[in-house]
Amino acid sequence: MTQKKKVVVVGGGFAGMHAAKQLGKSRDCDVIIIDRRNHHLFQPLLYQVAMAGLDPSDIASPIRSMLNRYSNISTLLGEVTRIDTDKQIVHSDVGELPYDYLVVACGAMHHYFGHDEWEAFAPGLKNIPQATEIRRRVLMAFESAERTNDKRQQDCWLTFVLVGGGPTGVELAGAIAEMAKNTLKRDFKTIDASLARVIVVQSGDRILNQFPEPLSEYAKGALESLGVEVRLGDRVTHVDAQGVWLGDERIEAYTVIWAAGVKANPIGKTLGTETDRAGRVVVESDLSIPGHPEVFVIGDLAAAKDSQGNPLPGLAPVAMQEGSYVGKLIRQKASGDSSHTQKPFEYRDKGQMATIGRRRAVLQSGGMTMKGTLAWLGWLFVHIVYLNGFRNRMFVFFSWAWSYVTFARGARLIVPKTWQITGEESQVHPDAPLPVAAGGASSEGREPSAS
């Protein structure tokens, strides 16, 4: 009996999970999937968590549970620090993981165009802590406006700037405007929440610029009908705690959300191979990296191309298809079956969609475009279908039905970041590195300090 092949998958997003699920069917591989979070996240609905419509756990499932049916897959909670492709070792805070095949799928993060200090003022939306932070800021803005009598302060609190006119910026803008108009209006007595000013700043000449132009037009009109200001051809040149500058123009706003550029996870650079301007790893037609047919890069971290040589967008369907392709390819390689040569990866375009608000969405698939109520129903349907797990589907479906009928939002919680009553957040956490060294624990220093 031959030795099983060791496969390491870095990242439990769409790409990594789809690769793992294919590898789970292999009899020739032992698989480790490592992620710094314990959960897989359904990114396309993350903005609804930020907008108090859904709970974090509605769109997240433990990676461990999702893969527990595959006896050859181990899940590890840990952070990868670098990858040594020569020695075939993944370095992480849980130790060294040697591999025969490697799948790198650790995604992208927000890019502040060289101004990382802006992040404090303008959080992005890539993970759950960021989503709940945005939720907290948006809800707190209305509360703070209610708490002051100063008109100018109220205006600053009730102004919301979205940097970026892609799907995330558009979805957030629509949701804030609808929340102010419908949900919050009846709850505040001093301020008129419906007067909230929501501004989308897009540097290009249209929003949703990866969609056909008529859909961009429709989306702009739909946002404007909700009272959102769409600023085209403007670029944010500075962000601080009180607002943004667009060149010479100042917009005072206490809530700014970043939905603009992304850059690849810096882990990609440690592969020692070519990366593009956004830090994405340039890959071969089988998604391996040049000179290392055993190392594959997929998802938002990869600069993959379609058969015409056009770069593939950072969309969930791309990541899923890449994951499945690579998982199958490794399975085949590990089995020693070289009877047929593997075809290059080819993306089957499923189209794309974005939602603006109630009964307002755009959808494009191949040559077909759709907008309005039908596109919105399509959006709802596709997102429910692709969501992981029956429980999550059911809960999201009920949440949406409930919100649609009542205009309420079920998750309007402002939760502070500290949990201790006695004030300052402690530096001591049991999962911080412990004073007791693993493997050589002594009882020294563990006596009661007062006895």
- Which residues form the catalytic set? 171
Cα–Cα distances (Å) from 25 to 1, 20, 152, 219, 325, in that order, read: 18, 9, 62, 43, 14
CB 278, min distance to a second copy, A: 15
Nearer to a second copy, 12 or 378 (CB): 12
CB 196, min distance to a second copy, A: 15
Pair of tokens at residue 245: 């500058």
CB 444, min distance to a second copy, A: 11
**Measured distance CA(353)–CA(236) in Å, rounded:** 26
Pairing of strands 73-77, 29-35: parallel
Cα–Cα distances (Å) from 234 to 153, 175, 189, 247, 424, in that order, read: 25, 22, 35, 8, 41
Cα–Cα distances (Å) from 179 to 45, 100, 302, 411, in that order, read: 16, 51, 36, 12
**Measured distance CA(251)–CA(381) in Å, rounded:** 38
CB 132, min distance to a second copy, A: 7
**Measured distance CA(231)–CA(205) in Å, rounded:** 9
CB atoms near residue 141 (< 10 Å): 22
Buried b (16+ CB within 10 A) or exposed e, 96-109: ebebbbbbbbbbbb
Nearer to a second copy, 119 or 349 (CB): 119
Nearer to a second copy, 343 or 391 (CB): 391
Residue 332 φ/ψ region, left for φ over 0, alpha for ψ in the -120 to 50 degree band, beta for the rest: alpha
Nearer to a second copy, 96 or 425 (CB): 425
CB 343, min distance to a second copy, A: 34
Nearer to a second copy, 145 or 353 (CB): 145
Nearer to a second copy, 386 or 402 (CB): 402
Crossing angle of helices 167-178 and 213-225, rounded to 10°: 20
CB 139 within 8 A of CB 172: no
Pair of tokens at residue 235: 């670029």
Nearer to a second copy, 82 or 412 (CB): 412
**Residue 38, SS3 per DSSP:** coil
What DSSP string describes 181-235? IIIIGGG-SSS-GGG-EEEEEESSSSSSTTS-HHHHHHHHHHHHHTT-EEEES--
Phi (first) and psi of residue 29, to 5 degrees: -125, 145
**Measured distance CA(83)–CA(267) in Å, rounded:** 7
Nearer to a second copy, 120 or 374 (CB): 120
Pair of tokens at residue 43: 């990114």
CB atoms near residue 435 (< 10 Å): 9
